[in-house]
């Protein structure tokens, strides 16, 4: 399909689109209409944007055009059309989190949405998610299934799946997502885009659903962060979401010749598809060619210990959102879960996840103590390296599978079968220890599907991983658009 002039603008990253707006090559209203046209062209195939507020968005865009014509001061995102994950409240578009009764209410802007609007972003739509953001696939009965732009028979990932699909398809250039179990990183890997999981506590979570609407909870493990088609756009949006500072897009990229990167691909308890491994290994060689010092390492910590603690911490949060009947059913399975763990089933088993959902407060405290010890131990690794380069998911984007969790399996390229819960593995280090992680596209598998990897940094080292990601984006490889 030939691209028209509007599509050429939509292929630019957010920084490029903002430059076109500033130079008056396009108006905010025109750019918004182009994004809407792209949405209409792709919606039946992708179903990425599932709720819109066109009238309000057009009014805002036209007002910004008038302000620009009068040479009034505008924000950093002035006139940029944006979508937002449907777990964040937006005036006129309350977060449904995949549930009808949540959609049918009045809502104020989430804290992060308010910051983006303060910088004059034009927020016009919401992107699809799994119910209560609780899966690595984006589907629900309210809005249906979102497809991967690279292969519509496959998932775009979750829970920020609609966001990643919309970015890859050129429907939006910037997104606000969230991550507690890989929800920013997995969709980025599956769709070939960028995301950043900030250090825990760096970005305000207020106005995200779950937890229940109106909650003031700043949930453990969960973070809110940017998604984009370039690393410089991640830096721009994160600088806004934290209220300004040194992470702005104006900051220089890192020098790859000075970078010391640990390559982590080995962990006996973590499955990894050979195609994913090969893509990351090839990328690591490109890093070396660019001058980076890349050193393969064994697991940075004892990962079974970390996984056990992580799933207890995570389960306490997930359990809060579950109906009482579900919790009681899971409590009846505690004996089975403990037996399987004692038999060496491993913390990635479904039984272990069930056990985690019903953790007592005493068990949570014990897991938190383990987490704090491991936080101290990981400091030794970051004393030697700037970042850890690691996989995000054990496989590339997999075919849609809406069966119950206990019946799902992941098929590796070598014919092996991987437990579905293994999707928690590679993302666990950064999440459990509250570390920043920047997801970057590193290439394609032999199947032609995107492969992403994460640059994990030390606590509060967001600027470091983002600067490395920008250097990689600008000097090695960046976003490649799917042929849709």
Same domain, 200 and 340: no
CATH of the domain at 109: 3.90.1300.10
Residue 446 domain-assigned (yes or no) = no
Same domain, 101 and 184: yes
DSSP 132: G
Same domain, 311 and 229: no
The pLDDT score that the predictor gives to residue 246 is 56
Residue 431 domain-assigned (yes or no) = no
Domain boundary residue, one of 366, 384, 412:
366
Q: What is the DSSP string of 440-456?
A: EEEEE-TTS-EEEEEEE
Type and span of the H or E element at 126 = strand 122-127
Query: Torsion angle of alpha carbons 32, 203, 149, 264, nearest 10°?
Result: 150
Tell me: pLDDT of 169 over 90.
yes
Same domain, 196 and 52: yes
Contact 431, 182 (CB under 8 A): yes
User: Please, which pLDDT band fits residue 3 given cuts at 50, 70 and 90?
Assistant: very low
Residue 192 domain-assigned (yes or no) = yes
Number of structural domains in the chain: 2
Tell me: pLDDT of 134 over 70.
yes
Q: What is the 3-state secondary structure (H, E, C) of 144-196?
A: EECEECCEEEEECCCCCHHHHHHHHCCCCCEEEEEECCCCCHHHHHHHCCEEE
Q: What's the rounded mean pLDDT across residues 453-471? A: 97
Name the residue range of residue 342's domain.
304-366
314-366 per-position pLDDT tens digit = 988 887 775 544 444 444 444 444 444 444 444 444 444 444 456 688 999 99
Same domain, 228 and 313: no
Same domain, 170 and 37: yes
6-50 per-position pLDDT tens digit = 458 999 999 999 999 999 999 999 999 999 999 999 999 999 999
Same domain, 236 and 157: yes
182-209 per-position pLDDT tens digit = 999 999 999 999 999 999 999 999 999 9
30 phi, psi to nearest 5 deg: -65, -40
User: Please, which pLDDT band fits residue 381 given cuts at 50, 70 and 90?
Assistant: very high
Residue 310 domain-assigned (yes or no) = yes
Same domain, 192 and 321: no
Same domain, 356 and 222: no
Tell me: pLDDT of 90 over 50.
yes
Residue 17 domain-assigned (yes or no) = yes
Residue 237 domain-assigned (yes or no) = yes
Same domain, 184 and 319: no
Same domain, 34 and 163: yes
Domain boundary residue, one of 366, 383, 407:
366
User: Please, which pLDDT band fits residue 290 given cuts at 50, 70 and 90?
Assistant: very high
Domain boundary residue, one of 241, 256, 286:
241
- Provide, rounded to the nearest whole percent, the portion of the chain with pLDDT above 90: 85
Same domain, 237 and 309: no
The pLDDT score that the predictor gives to residue 164 is 99
Residue 253 domain-assigned (yes or no) = no
Residue 130 domain-assigned (yes or no) = yes
Angle between helices 350-357 and 324-331 (to 10 degrees): 120
The pLDDT score that the predictor gives to residue 319 is 72
Which is more confident, 323 or 75?
75
Share the mean pLDDT of the chain.
91
């Amino acid at each position: 399909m030939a691209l028209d002039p509007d599509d050429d603008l939509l292929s630019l990253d957010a920084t490029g689109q903002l430059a076109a707006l500033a130079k008056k090559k396009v108006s905010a209203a025109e750019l918004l209409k182009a994004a809407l046209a792209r949405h209409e062209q792709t919606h039946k195939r992708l179903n990425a944007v599932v709720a819109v507020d066109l009238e309000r968005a057009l009014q805002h865009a036209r007002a910004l055009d008038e302000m620009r014509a009068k040479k009034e001061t505008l924000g950093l995102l002035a006139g940029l059309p944006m979508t937002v994950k449907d777990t964040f409240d937006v005036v006129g578009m309350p977060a449904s989190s995949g549930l009808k009764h949540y959609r049918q209410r009045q809502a104020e802007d989430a804290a992060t949405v308010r910051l983006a609007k303060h910088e004059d972003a034009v927020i016009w739509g919401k992107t699809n998610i799994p119910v209560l953001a609780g899966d690595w696939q984006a589907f629900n009965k309210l809005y249906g299934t979102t497809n991967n732009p690279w292969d519509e028979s496959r998932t775009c990932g979750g829970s920020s799946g609609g966001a990643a699909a919309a970015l890859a398809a050129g429907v939006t250039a910037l997104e606000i997502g969230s991550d507690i179990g890989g929800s920013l990183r997995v969709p980025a890997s599956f769709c070939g885009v960028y995301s950043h999981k900030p250090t825990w506590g760096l970005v305000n979570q207020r106005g995200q659903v779950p937890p229940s609407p109106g909650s003031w909870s700043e949930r453990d493990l969960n973070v809110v962060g940017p998604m984009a088609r370039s690393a410089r756009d991640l830096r721009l949006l994160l600088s806004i979401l934290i209220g300004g500072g040194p992470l702005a897009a104006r900051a220089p990229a890192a020098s790859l010749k000075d970078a010391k990167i640990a390559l982590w691909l080995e962990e006996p308890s973590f499955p990894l598809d050979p195609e994913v491994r090969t893509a990351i290994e090839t990328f690591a060689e490109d890093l070396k060619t660019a001058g980076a010092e890349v050193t393969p390492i064994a697991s940075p910590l004892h990962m079974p210990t970390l996984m056990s603690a992580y799933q207890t911490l995570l389960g306490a949060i997930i359990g809060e959102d579950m109906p009482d009947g579900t919790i009681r059913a899971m409590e009846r399975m505690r004996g089975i879960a403990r037996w399987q763990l004692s038999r060496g089933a491993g913390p990635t088993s479904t039984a272990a996840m069930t056990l985690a959902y019903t953790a007592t407060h005493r068990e949570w405290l014990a897991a938190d103590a383990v987490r704090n010890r491991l936080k101290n131990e990981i400091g030794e690794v970051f004393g030697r390296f700037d970042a850890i380069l690691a996989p995000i998911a054990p496989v590339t984007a997999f075919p849609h599978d809406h069966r119950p969790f206990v019946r799902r399996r992941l098929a590796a390229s070598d014919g092996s079968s991987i437990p579905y819960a293994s999707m928690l593995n590679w993302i666990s280090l950064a999440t459990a220890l509250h570390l920043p992680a920047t997801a970057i596209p590193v290439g394609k598998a032999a199947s032609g599907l995107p492969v992403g990897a994460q640059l994990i940094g030390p606590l509060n080292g967001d600027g470091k991983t983002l600067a490395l990601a920008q250097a990689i984006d600008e000097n090695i490889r960046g976003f490649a658009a799917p042929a849709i």
